[in-house]
Each structure stands twice: as structure tokens, then as C-alpha cells.
Amino acid sequence: MKKIRIVPIILAGGSGSRLWPLSRQLHPKQLISLNSTRTMLQETVLRLKGLEGATDPIVICNDDHRFMVAEQLREVGIRTTAILLEPEGRNTAPAIAVCSIEAAERYGDPLLLILPADHFISDPSRFLEAVQCGAGEAQEGRLLTFGIVPDAPETGYGYIRKGVPLPSKAFSIGSFVEKPDSKTAEAYVNSGEYLWNSGMFLFKASTILEEFRLLVPEILSACEAARKKATVDLDFIRLDPASFHASPSDSIDYAVMERTTRGAMVPLEAGWNDLGSWEALWQVGEKDANANVMQGDVLIHDVKHSFLHAENRLIAAVGLENHIVVETQDAVLVSPRDRVQDVRKLVDAMRLARREEAISHRRVYRPWGSYETVAMDERFQVKRITVKPGAKLSVQKHYHRAEHWVVVRGTAIVRRGEEEILLREDESIYIPLGMTHRLENPGKIPLDLIEVQSGSYLGEDDIVRFDDVYGRAADPG
């Protein structure tokens, strides 16, 4: 029997705004660690180990996150077939369409396993069993989704009603239904006929491309053009912005799954959760005797059924019940557990007010390392900069600020104008305003330095870049 080839497609876009203040626009949910030592993206790709016939994954992500995605995959030893960069988010249908085109060009007509990068599965072995169970149906031309057997009447998920049983353990799809109210959700669960819509899929490349062409040809044609006109940038494939923008923004459910006659569903019981809110993290977290989930430096008295997460400081709480408290370096969130869906409204308000807390953390990641703002005032800013071994910043200059660097760990090579200077620990250098410069770490350990900026304007967009090993032209940093 011919071995079935399965190409994992990892959807790593999205902002995860309901998990603010941990999840931010430039460092979203799928790229942070929520309930393990690994990020959600890393957990997603690692649970595929042992999947028979699986190739290296194809990953699609936002352009702003490309270096973090590549670095996180490298950290856990995962090679990719391709990393596609979306010029903008157009929902899941265009993302899946363009990845299906990529997979078909590279592998012919494989099965495609579509996985969001931000789901939690406590029992990966049962998940892989469900994939193998559905592979036969997918080979026969079915568009499979995985229906999660519900363990509670959840109002935050859409549901799928079972249709007729198929020869395997799958069912045809009776209907998709929107997120219900609590009474309806309870009736769904009690009936045993409804499963949660997981947003994970399995189908042949030819089958999904045929359905795109039949049901939403405008999406497929735009995505074909976006891939055909794409450019290669280092290890990434940049989709053509104009072509991709021409695609309607639609979910795969609305565009295809709710309209196709080929749909089927495999029931899945593997401890699945989409971790879409703080309430979801409370549900999957390890609880104390009073049903509290606590992470970090937390001290409580008479607190019950609550989630408390501290990153930088002590959280001390008295008399709370059914609450969420999340502390980061620059923000604190407090909310009743039954109101956590409204966190997104706060994030929307912050974006309208152009508040930086909606966009990034104090620590900002770059392909060469990271920087963290330590202090800031009208005419000065102090940063801690970390440069990875062997990495270097771009050759650049600033029109409005001068910089003073002090090495606190490691060794630095600094190019300042025509000079090249080697700096060791406790040594410093001054970069005058308008001077061309570059910072490099030639050593085997991270380089840490303190940067003091002074000048009339300290924004990250005050940069003229002349040369960059990471292919950046206009991005700051």
C-alpha cells in the first residue's frame, strides 16, 4: 500500500488580543509561552513528531513576526518546507488557499493537515490517532474537520452537528451552527449530536483547490497570483501584496466548509482547547485546593476560583473570587472571569489612542536579539540591548540622537565611521549624532550592553539603514 504523504500547514497569523497584556500585536499569543516552557507555535509543531508520512511543515505568518517564527522553530530543531509571509491578514480562507498552492507545487497531491499555531492539546497521541483515522476519508476526496467532543456547554465555540456515520469513525456534516447562548449550548451537549468546531482540517490538495475554484474562485485566483508574483527574501517567501489584497477576506468555514458537499467530521477527544481567553487558561491550568491557578510570584488570602499571573512583581490578593489578574512589566489586567471576552474592547480602545501597550512589550525582539526600555524621559532613554552570538545590527545612523554604549557582558565589535573598536566588559563608547555605526557580537555568549540615548527625538523610526544582513530596508531596529 502506497504511503500517504501529509503536509502540515501551520497558520501562525493572528493577534490574540483577548490574551492582552501577555499577547501584543508584535508578540502575539502563538509566539509566547502560556502553559508550558515552550511557545504555542513550538508545541504545535512538536506534537506532529510521530505522525507517519509527515513532511516538514509549511508555515504562514505575518511579516512582522517572520524572524521570531523562524527563530522559535530553529530552537526546537524544526525545519520547514517554506515560510510564507502575509502582507496583511485576510482570514483563514486565503491563508489556506495559498498554502495549498505551495504544497501542490512542491509535493504533487498530498494530504494537507491544517493546524492553527495557538491550540492546546493535552494528549497528542490521541490527536495523531484521529489524524490517521481521517486520512483514508481524506484520500477518498472528503474535506475533513475535527470535531471536539464537548465536556461542558461552552458558549465561546461554534458547533457542528453530526450527519450520517461513515465507514470509518467519521461522520458526514449535518450543519454548522454559530456560538450559542448557554441554554442552547447545554441542549447541544446533552443531545450528544453536536461537537465543537476546532478549526483543524485534513484534505487532499487537489480536493480543496477544486472546491476553492468551484465555490470561491475569486479567492483562488488572487492567491494564485500572489504566489506566482511572490519574491524570495532570505528564508522567506513574500506573497505579492497587491494580489493578496485583492482576495476577499473570509474564513475557511464560510468560504468552503459550510457550502461543500464533501464535508466530513472526525470526533476528537484529546484535551483540546483553543486558549482563546484567560478563562480558557484557567480551565486548563493546574489548580490549588480553592481552584486557583497561580503563576509567578503570587501571595493570596481567601481567594477562590481565580487566575493570577505575575511576571515582574509580587501580586498580593485578598478576598477575590472568580477573577483574573495578570501583571506584566508595563500593564496590569483585572477582570471578572465571566467578562474576559471584553478584553478585546480594551485593546481596541488602546489602539485608537495609539498606546504602545497594545502594540509591544517593554522588551522588543529583533532578528539579532532584543532590547528593553529601562528608563525614558523627554530628552533621554535608557535601554538594555542583548545581541545573540554571531549576530550584528545594521549599518545605520540617526539624525536626532546620540548614543552611549556600556558593555556589561560579553564582547562587542563596534564600527564607528571608519573606526573598528573591540569593547570588553565594563568598557564604553560614544556614538555622536549623525555618525554611521554598527554593533556586532563576535563571541560565543550573548552580548549585553546598556544604551543611553540623548537628543530631541528618540523614536524608533529615526534610523537610516545602509546595510543589513537580515534584508530589512525600512523596519526600525
pLDDT category at 2 given cuts 50, 70, 90 is low
**In which domain, by residue range, is 150 found?**
6-273
Say if residue 121 is in the same domain as residue 197. Answer: yes
Quick one: CA dihedral 218, 210, 44, 74, positive or negative? negative
Tens digit of each residue's pLDDT (9 = 90 or more) over 267-288: 999 999 999 899 999 999 999 9
Same-domain status, 247 and 319: no
Max CA pair span of the chain: 76
Classify residue 473: in a domain, yes or no. no
pLDDT digits (tens, 9 = 90+) for 420-454: 999 999 999 999 999 999 999 999 999 999 999 99
Domain's final residue, options 255, 273, 291: 273
Residues 68, 442: Cα–Cα separation, whole Å: 21
Distance CA 266, CA 137 (A): 10
Same domain, 367 and 331: no
Q: Are residues 318 and 381 in the same domain?
A: no
Neighbours of 261 (CB within 10 A): 9
* Shared domain check, 66 and 171: yes
Give me the pLDDT at residue 154, please.
87
Closest to 471 in 3D by CA, of 243, 235, 239, 242: 235
pLDDT digits (tens, 9 = 90+) for 72-82: 999 999 999 99
138 closest CA partner among 230, 232, 32, 5: 5
Q: Which of 273, 291, 326 is the last residue of a domain?
A: 273
Is the bond leading into 21 cis (omega within 30 degrees of zero)?
A: yes
Is 184 in the same domain as 57? yes
My answer on whether 316 and 381 are in the same domain is no
**Which of 273, 296, 314 lies at the terminal end of a domain, its last residue?**
273
Name the pTM for this structure: 0.89
438 with 431: CB under 8 angstroms?
no
Contact partners, residue 246, CB within 8 Å, separation at least 6: 222, 225
Angstrom distance (rounded) from CA 221 to CA 428: 56
* Judgement on whether residues 299 and 369 belong to the same structural domain of the protein: no
Q: Is the pLDDT of residue 9 over 60?
A: yes
Residue 461: phi and psi, rounded to 5, are: -85, 0
Dump pLDDT digits (tens) for 176-208: 999 999 899 999 999 999 999 999 999 999 999
| Judgement on whether residues 262 and 282 belong to the same structural domain of the protein | no
Residue 355 belongs to a domain: no
* Integer CA distances (angstroms), 6 to 3, 70, 254, 269, 365, in order: 10, 21, 25, 21, 33
d(CA 181, CA 228): 44
Q: What rounded mean pLDDT belongs to the chain?
A: 94
Which residue reads 461513515 in cell numbers? 166
Buried/exposed code over 340-376 (b: 16+ C-beta within 10 A; e: otherwise): beebbebbeebeeeeeebbbbbbebbbbbbbbebeee
